[in-house]
Amino acid sequence: MRGYISTAEAAERWQLTVRRVCVLCRQRKIYGAIKQGGMWRIPFDAKKPGRTLYGKQKSVKQKELKLISLFSGCGGIDLGFEGDFDVLRKSVNPAINSHWEIKDVDKNWVRIGKTRFHTIFANDIKPEAKAAWTNYFGKRGIDVENYYLDSIVNLVKLQKENKVPIFPTDIDILTGGFPCQDFSVAGKRMGFDSDKGHDGQKLKSEEPTVENRGQLYMWMREVIGITEPKVFVAENVKGLTNLRDVKEVIERDFSSVCNGGYLVVPAKVLNAARYGVPQGRERVIFFGFKKSALTSKAFEELSKEEISVEYTPYPKITHYLPDEAPAGRLEKFVTVRDALIGLMEPEKSSDLSHQKYSKAKYMGKHCQGQQEIRLNGIGPTIRSEHHGNIEFRRLSEEHGGKHKKELSEGLKERRLSVRECARIQTFPDDYEFVISARNGNKSVSGSEAYKIIGNAVPPLLGYHIAKRLEDNWELYFGEGKRQ
């Protein structure tokens, strides 16, 4: 089997006995080890287990890395950078990410480990996003007072004009998915000339302004200049890459912050389905590194037109797509059927986020969102602006429904529930989306929950990005800084 070694080879590599390696495999101390034909097979890049205490592997305490999150929404990328949440077992590729800390939950689910990153600031303009974020992350021990319900433009102005300290300093990383509606192929594609303001409202003047929604990345750039993180990660829709020269303009603008103090590597489009997410969601990712914080070697490597595999900040692909042949150590794509495992029909569920689903009627194939999801394929991109026309979980036979067995069992035509959309986005089930008014926050309805879920980065994709940066942190920012 490609990508695996025998217990004898592992024993020689780790200077252990073969018997000891077999014991560690049986105790599940070697993540990713599988038994085939009565023999244990171990991932090629598996790490030697450390000494254990009370059945748990000791971990070396590492310095916490402070994170600022902008345009946070309900916190998809924040959860990815925090880690410590449940994902499908099929979403993890042990042959490629054998160093990940993984705990078994049951036969279908595992819990991925906590990262070094800790969120100390977040913001958004949507009250329902703040309500969901603070409700969830507050239970994880994050200070919810650090979530600012305000436009980034207003916050920057408040700090600069009134000298009020809004943004924390001495941070390590800044993330932000600046608004994408003006670059999305599903929208008007007005780009930098958006007719919406930074608060989401229609502009009163037709004159272009740097405070319009399409230029909010420039205000993210302002925050980078104020806080000077070692690295920043910016995210947007794939449509940005084929809208004139928008990608190149944004790369240049980001690299000019702090008088050219940041090295921005060429942006790439990542397909979430290649990272175990059961959804064909493509997003462009920008990385910027503070030049003065990089080691001389890292600066040299990251400056190359073709960055080496060792130094690239982009995570390794772990899954192949439906139209691709199996290759190397890649796992098969995760299907919608996998994602929805264990979910009963909404009427039988006690989960309020699963009970809620759009009642919009079928309008014909010519309209958006009138398709039935393919259970054995990857899911459609979960959209924020669908006006109730979220894809159907199941169509009736009259409307061309393909799930014959379910229909024969009397299951009715309906659209995806809020929880089903959250599952396809890889949010864990303990994240509540439909919630009552709590702790001074507004309530979140089903329609509002759809929107904040659709606006989010899949947490699992965020985790891949976070772990790649965590793995390379010392490589990028260790001893031997550039003078």
Q: Quick one: tokens of 171? A: 């941070």
- What's the Cα-to-Cα distance from 272 to each of 28, 319, 366, 425, rounded to whole Å? 28, 10, 27, 9
The helix/strand/coil state of 301 is helix
HEC string of 75-103 equals CHHHHHHHEEEEEEHHHCCCCCCCCCCEE
How many Å apart are CA 468 and CA 251, to the nearest integer? 21
The helix/strand/coil state of 193 is helix
Q: Which of 22, 25, 74, 180 is catalytic?
A: 180
Q: Is 74 a catalytic residue?
A: no
- What's the Cα-to-Cα distance from 127 to each of 73, 151, 426, 428, 437, rounded to whole Å? 9, 12, 22, 21, 11
How many Å apart are CA 294 and CA 287, to the nearest integer? 13
Q: Taking a C-beta distance cutoff of 8 angstroms, is the pair 302, 265 a contact? A: yes
- What's the Cα-to-Cα distance from 11 to each of 35, 46, 120, 211, 248, rounded to whole Å? 16, 12, 43, 61, 50
- Strand 34-36 vs strand 39-43: parallel, antiparallel, or unpaired? antiparallel
Q: Quick one: tokens of 369? A: 């969102």
How many Å apart are CA 343 and CA 373, to the nearest integer? 15
Buried b (16+ CB within 10 A) or exposed e, 80-91: bbbbebbbbbbb
Return the number of other C-beta atoms located less than 10 Å from residue 372's C-beta: 19
Strand segments (E) across 115-261? 117-124, 147-149, 173-176, 231-237
Looking at this protein, which amino acid is placed at residue 416?
L
Return the number of other C-beta atoms located less than 10 Å from residue 259's C-beta: 7
Q: Taking a C-beta distance cutoff of 8 angstroms, is the pair 116, 64 a contact? A: yes
How many Å apart are CA 172 and CA 338, to the nearest integer? 36
Q: What phi, psi does 268 have (nearest 5°)?
A: -135, 155
Residues near 397 by beta carbon (within 8 Å), at least 6 away in sequence: 404, 407
Residues near 93 by beta carbon (within 8 Å), at least 6 away in sequence: 276, 318, 319, 329, 330, 331
Q: Which residues are catalytic?
A: 180
